[in-house]
Amino acid sequence: MIDNKGENHIGALHDEDYKEKYFTPLINHNSLIYDISRAKESLNGKWNFQIDQYDTFLRANWYSNEEKDQNGLEMPLDHNFDHWEEINVPACWNTESKEYFYYEGPAIYHKSFKYSNYGEDKVFLKIGAANYDSYIFLNKKFLGHHQGGSTPFMLEITDYLSQENTLQIAVDNTRRREAVPTKNTDWFNYGGIYRDVELLRLPETYIKDFSLALAENSYQQLVLNLTAAGENLTDKVKLEIPELEIELNIPLANGKAEAVFAAKPELWSPDNPKLYQVIISYRNDRIEDQIGFRQVKVEGRDIYLNGNKIFLKGIAAHEESLNNGKAVTETEIIENIKLAKEMNCNYIRLAHYPHSYKVAQIADQLGVMLWEEIPVYWAIYFENQFTYNDAENQLLELIKRDINRASVIIWSVGNENEDTDARLKFMSGLANTARKVDPTRLVSAACLVDEKNNRISDRLTEYLDIIGQNEYYGWYIPDISKLIDCMENSKPDKPVVITEFGAGALSGERGTKDDLFTEDYQLKVYQKQTEVLGKIEYIKGLSPWILFDFRCPRRTNKYQQGYNRKGLLSADKKHKKLAFFEMQRFYSEI
Ligand code: GCU
């Protein structure tokens, strides 16, 4: 029972297990509703904000404090929500104020809003992403907890709304051993509500989610899988694809509508990013989407797109901009994709966590294939069931969000994890989940080289469609001649994509090709890498590390100064390093 005593209630001071009562209800992928094109009411803008280093909001139940005691005497509360400073939502608190740049811990967001019932039946709150733990409170009631810093989450708030509302969200970006990612990573730990916050109004019965894709091994059949929600789910669902002159009425059974029907869509590809308007209606609910249709598969040691062998001419990218941290804008997303295309890329590895849903939407339109990944990164607590549940939920939230994005061709279940039994069980479980939920895409992970035997060898690859392989010959292994040995020692039975290679260089730093952290050294590594990798038959893609320099507290030498300098562009993306042009050349010749 959560008591509602006010300031410094004695019980709160002695209860170090206070967070247990906020672990559930756990908001997860089951409450996601397909919301693209739906009318939404934005709660973005100025919110009251307070960092809360001792987690007092949760300890002392600030959200439910009474202003007066039972005798009507005023309580000396330790907060005035409306008088706190204001912060932008969406944003990372780190880039909103110098004093919060390195802040890691709990922080409280507070917003009052009016709600007028337009006669709709259900109202949902949607948070596009908040890093890492979020606790939702509406009108003095705790509604739920979400884990995971890069995926959307939703909850129904119909029964808790009134004319005047107080919404409070406690966000905690403390890195934790049992979280996903765990405490140690190679990127900056931004905090806050950094994607949109919106209200979604839905009728009593509505379309919860759907997928629409080409049937397996077919170019002349589409498959619709739709789930509806609400009571008394009878009647039919209407599917329209006007440009294909398709209009179908599909009966619901047990809340589901499934259909396999003839269609010959123009196929989506990076060279021809053809999208179709898809309209689905059910009673007085209606959703639209722009969907591309394509087949991606692996056969032997080849990757096929629409029946043609392809080479993934890629680059890796973090989700970050100097000014906005992880809260990248649409303009910055478009800039990144255009820079990749300028490098003659047809593919981007979105490392190491789900990026904004806008990336896949824009990649659909501009014609770029994507690798999307959950942050099962380095030394995850593989023995912990809660950690597995967290990772699997983030994977399912990502898949549900981007299930109809033609640009997304690969789900990645992690990066650079030690080949142990616990990790094999954990990550093969994730790979199986991805394949079961979405058989239309490929599953991969970025694996480590078997350094002892200097070859590509990782037990997880048995569960993958594509072997993702990170290697740093010429950098962490300075002797680049070992790259050739490694490639010759390896006997993969499926396509290999080199998911990372690279070297650090400070923009503008010049020297000989043996001087570390110069553009000349980085260029030498790239030239040698492309010379060797370009000749290896089983390599069917590259995503060098990385498009642009990015913030990383682990990187402190005189060239790095808080940045990982392996970018092919400077952190402000204003300067292309020499190696950018090596990749541009290499890809132009494939
Ligand atoms: C690793 C890791 C990256 C990291 C990179 C580096 O392979 O996957 O996240 O930034 O190497 O060391 O620069």
Average pLDDT over residues 363-370: 98
Residue with the smallest CA separation from ligand 1 atom 12 is 186
Average pLDDT over residues 252-270: 98
pLDDT, tens digit (0-9, with 9 covering 90-100), for 500-518? 999 999 999 999 999 999 9
Question: Which of 555, 564, 565, 568, when mutated, tests ligand 1's pocket best, judged by the most ligand atoms within 8 Å of its CB?
Answer: 564
Residue 4 is predicted with a pLDDT of: 45
- Rounded distance from Cα 129 to ligand 1 centre (Å): 24
Answer whether residue 120 shows pLDDT above 80: no
Q: How far apart are the C-alpha atoms of 62 and 82, rounded to whole Å? A: 13
Q: How far apart are the C-alpha atoms of 409 and 509, rounded to whole Å? A: 37
CA-wise closest residue to 507 among 322, 333, 313, 337? 322
- Rounded distance from Cα 546 to ligand 1 centre (Å): 9
- Rounded distance from Cα 471 to ligand 1 centre (Å): 10
Answer whether residue 199 shows pLDDT above 50: yes
Q: How confident is the model at residue 11 (pLDDT cuts 50, 70, 90)?
A: confident
Q: Which atom of ligand 1 is nearest to the CA of 352?
A: 9
Angle at 113 between CA 109 and CA 118, to 5 degrees: 140
Instruction: Give the lowest-confidence range in 4-13, 283-292, 353-362.
Output: 4-13
User: Where are any strands of DSSP class E within 525-572?
Assistant: 539-542, 550-551, 563-564
Q: How far apart are the C-alpha atoms of 62 and 77, rounded to whole Å? A: 8
Q: How far apart are the C-alpha atoms of 548 and 321, rounded to whole Å? A: 9
Answer whether residue 6 shows pLDDT above 70: no
Q: Which atom of ligand 1 is nearest to the CA of 416?
A: 8
More confident residue, 257 or 121: 257
Structure-token pair, residue 335: 């800039």
Could you tell me what percent of the chain has a pLDDT over 90?
96
What average pLDDT is seen over the chain? 96
- Rounded distance from Cα 186 to ligand 1 centre (Å): 6
Residue 572 is predicted with a pLDDT of: 97
Answer whether residue 569 shows pLDDT above 60: yes
pLDDT, tens digit (0-9, with 9 covering 90-100), for 372-431? 999 999 999 999 999 999 999 999 999 999 999 999 999 999 999 999 999 999 999 999
Residue with the smallest CA separation from ligand 1 atom 6 is 186
- Rounded distance from Cα 68 to ligand 1 centre (Å): 54
- Rounded distance from Cα 502 to ligand 1 centre (Å): 9
Exposure of 105 in the CB half-sphere (CA atoms within 13 A):
13
Residue 43 is predicted with a pLDDT of: 98
- Rounded distance from Cα 5 to ligand 1 centre (Å): 48
Average pLDDT over residues 97-113: 98
Biggest alpha carbon–alpha carbon distance for the chain:
83
pLDDT, tens digit (0-9, with 9 covering 90-100), for 129-145? 999 999 999 999 999 99
Q: How confident is the model at residue 71 (pLDDT cuts 50, 70, 90)?
A: very high
Q: Which atom of ligand 1 is nearest to the CA of 377?
A: 8
Residue with the smallest CA separation from ligand 1 atom 3 is 186
Domain ranges of the chain: 11-202, 206-294, 304-505+538-548
Residue 117 is predicted with a pLDDT of: 76
- CATH 3.30.70.100 corresponds to the domain 11-202: no
Q: How far apart are the C-alpha atoms of 434 and 439, rounded to whole Å? A: 8
Could you tell me what percent of the chain has a pLDDT over 70?
98
Structure-token pair, residue 433: 């989940």
Q: How far apart are the C-alpha atoms of 353 and 211, rounded to whole Å? A: 22
Average pLDDT over residues 341-365: 98
pLDDT, tens digit (0-9, with 9 covering 90-100), for 434-490? 999 999 999 999 999 999 999 999 999 999 999 999 999 999 999 999 999 999 999
Question: Which of 475, 500, 554, 565, when mutated, tests ligand 1's pocket best, judged by the most ligand atoms within 8 Å of its CB?
Answer: 500
Instruction: Give the lowest-confidence range in 6-20, 153-167, 259-273, 470-484.
Output: 6-20
User: Where are any strands of DSSP class E within 159-307?
Assistant: 164-172, 192-193, 197-202, 206-214, 221-229, 236-241, 246-251, 256-262, 276-282, 285-291, 296-299, 302-305
- Rounded distance from Cα 385 to ligand 1 centre (Å): 26
With residue 133 as reference, give the H or E element that holds it.
Answer: strand 133-138
Q: Which atom of ligand 1 is nearest to the CA of 504?
A: 13
- Rounded distance from Cα 244 to ligand 1 centre (Å): 45
Q: Which atom of ligand 1 is nearest to the CA of 470?
A: 7
Answer whether residue 10 shows pLDDT above 80: no
- How does 372-395 read in b/e, with b if 16+ C-beta sit within 10 Å? bbbbbbbbbbbebeebbebbbbbb
User: Which residues have C-beta atoms less than 6 Å from ligand 1?
Assistant: 186, 352, 415-416, 470, 500, 545, 564, 566
Answer whether residue 118 shows pLDDT above 80: no
Residue 306 is predicted with a pLDDT of: 98
Q: Which atom of ligand 1 is nearest to the CA of 351?
A: 9
CA-wise closest residue to 2 among 14, 23, 18? 18
The arrangement of secondary structure in 304-505+538-548, i.e. its CATH architecture, is Alpha-Beta Barrel (3.20)
pLDDT, tens digit (0-9, with 9 covering 90-100), for 132-190? 999 999 999 999 999 999 999 999 999 999 999 999 999 999 999 999 999 999 999 99
Instruction: Give the lowest-confidence range in 6-20, 80-94, 535-549.
Output: 6-20
Residue 2 is predicted with a pLDDT of: 41
pLDDT, tens digit (0-9, with 9 covering 90-100), for 211-258? 999 999 999 999 999 999 999 999 999 999 999 999 999 999 999 999
Answer whether residue 65 shows pLDDT above 70: yes
Strand pairing of 221-229 and 246-251?
Answer: unpaired
CA-wise closest residue to 273 among 371, 402, 399, 406? 406
Q: Which atom of ligand 1 is nearest to the CA of 564?
A: 13
Structure-token pair, residue 572: 């402000």
Q: Which of 2.160.10.10, 3.65.10.10, 2.60.40.10, 3.40.50.720 would CATH assign to domain 206-294?
A: 2.60.40.10
Residue with the smallest CA separation from ligand 1 atom 4 is 186
- 196 beta partners: none
Residue 5 is predicted with a pLDDT of: 47
Q: Is 320:551 a contact under the CB 8 Å cutoff?
A: yes
- Rounded distance from Cα 118 to ligand 1 centre (Å): 50
Answer whether residue 323 shows pLDDT above 80: yes
